[in-house]
Amino acid sequence: MNENGNISPIGMFDSGVGGISVLREAVRQLPHERFIFFGDTKNAPYGTKTKEEVLSLSRRIVEMLLGKGCKAIVIACNTATSAAAATLRAEYADLPIIGMEPALKPASLLHQDGIVLSLATPGTIAGEKYAHLYALYGEGVVSMPCKGLMEFAERGELDSEALHDYLKDLFLPYQGKKVEAVVLGCTHYVFLKKAIQRFFPETPLIDGNAGTVRQLARRLAEKGTLAPDAAEGGAELLSSGGEAAVRRMKNLLKTE
Ligand code: DGL
């Protein structure tokens, strides 16, 4: 609780609209919490920037969110988690900082003798965090850096012909193969589920959103900072991309 008697908010950010898929899940699981979400649309994509650039952008956003009294931070972006989470946790030792990771672990439970397609940004796939995950759960996994894919979600183009063409080229080598799971290792891709599912109608598409929000709830409970049931929750949306980007985020927050 802050000095005005209000429940302190939870800060959440992404390079753009993708993290809204995490916020949507967070609002479902934690309806009494207040969230402040920042989408850094002006600087998107993060997935083709250097680790240093993403760290510096992430650090500035965390400072801004802490200035608004946030009690915890959710990095609703796999790329920024990979580039910045460890450093930010060292810099803010008392602050719960929850990140994302491509869901290779749950996907590994579905792996038998086929393949698992792991879709993420070039930055995520090149990072140490991913290499570590891959060493543990990478059996049967084909890692696919998807330069240019997040932009479809960012533009609000969730089912266009151009998206279909992009995916067709991407998945061409795997049509007719036994694909046991598709990992959506970028929060933007969650909004492209319908278009991706068309190529693999029977295959589970797995993201890390629910697990991340469960982890957030655990960390708040440990700290004793969960909002009480009487508190009124809500979400405030901010963007470096102006009004139009905020409108796109609002619309995506309402989608199922
Ligand atoms: N939504 C982000 C992720 O989860 C990154 C997209 C990007 O900025 O490249 O990785």
First to last CA, the chain: 31
* Residue 77 Cβ < 6 Å to ligand 1: yes
> Which pLDDT tens digit goes with each residue over 68-127?
999 999 999 999 999 999 999 999 999 999 999 999 999 999 999 999 999 999 999 999
Round to whole Å and give the CA distance between 228 and 153: 34
The DSSP letter of residue 65 is H
How far is ligand 1, taken at its centre, from the CA of residue 44, in Å?
8
Residue 120 has phi, psi (to 5 degrees) of -155, 180
Round to whole Å and give the CA distance between 106 and 207: 9
Please state, as a whole number, how many other Cβ atoms lie within 10 Å of the Cβ of residue 219: 18
**Using an 8 Å Cβ cutoff, are 115 and 177 in contact?**
yes
How far is ligand 1, taken at its centre, from the CA of residue 47, in Å?
6
Round to whole Å and give the CA distance between 125 and 47: 9
Residue 70 annotated among the catalytic residues of the structure:
no
Mean local confidence (pLDDT), 13-30: 98
Mean local confidence (pLDDT), 181-197: 98
> For the chain, how long is the longest CA-to-CA vector?
60
How far is ligand 1, taken at its centre, from the CA of residue 80, in Å?
7
Give the global pTM: 0.97
Q: Which residues pair with 75 in a beta bridge?
A: 13
Indicate the top mutation candidate among 79, 190, 207, 209 to test ligand 1's pocket, ranked by most ligand atoms within 8 A of CB. Answer: 79
Q: What is residue 7's predicted lDDT score, i.e. its pLDDT?
A: 86
**Using an 8 Å Cβ cutoff, are 40 and 57 in contact?**
yes
Round to whole Å and give the CA distance between 133 and 139: 11
Atom of ligand 1 nearest to the CA of 123: 9
Give me the chain's average pLDDT, please.
Answer: 96
Q: Which residues pair with 10 in a beta bridge?
A: 35, 72
Mean local confidence (pLDDT), 29-36: 98
How far is ligand 1, taken at its centre, from the CA of residue 79, in Å?
5
Active-site choice (22, 23, 77, 216): 77
Q: What is residue 3's predicted lDDT score, i.e. its pLDDT?
A: 53
Outline where DSSP puts E strands in the chain.
10-14, 34-39, 72-75, 97-98, 115-120, 141-145, 179-184, 205-206, 234-239
* Residue 22 Cβ < 6 Å to ligand 1: no
> Which pLDDT tens digit goes with each residue over 161-181?
999 999 999 999 999 999 999
Per DSSP bridges, beta strands 97-98 and 72-75 are parallel
Round to whole Å and give the CA distance between 78 and 99: 7
Indicate the top mutation candidate among 46, 130, 151 to test ligand 1's pocket, ranked by most ligand atoms within 8 A of CB. Answer: 46
Residue 146 annotated among the catalytic residues of the structure:
no
Please state, as a whole number, how many other Cβ atoms lie within 10 Å of the Cβ of residue 53: 14
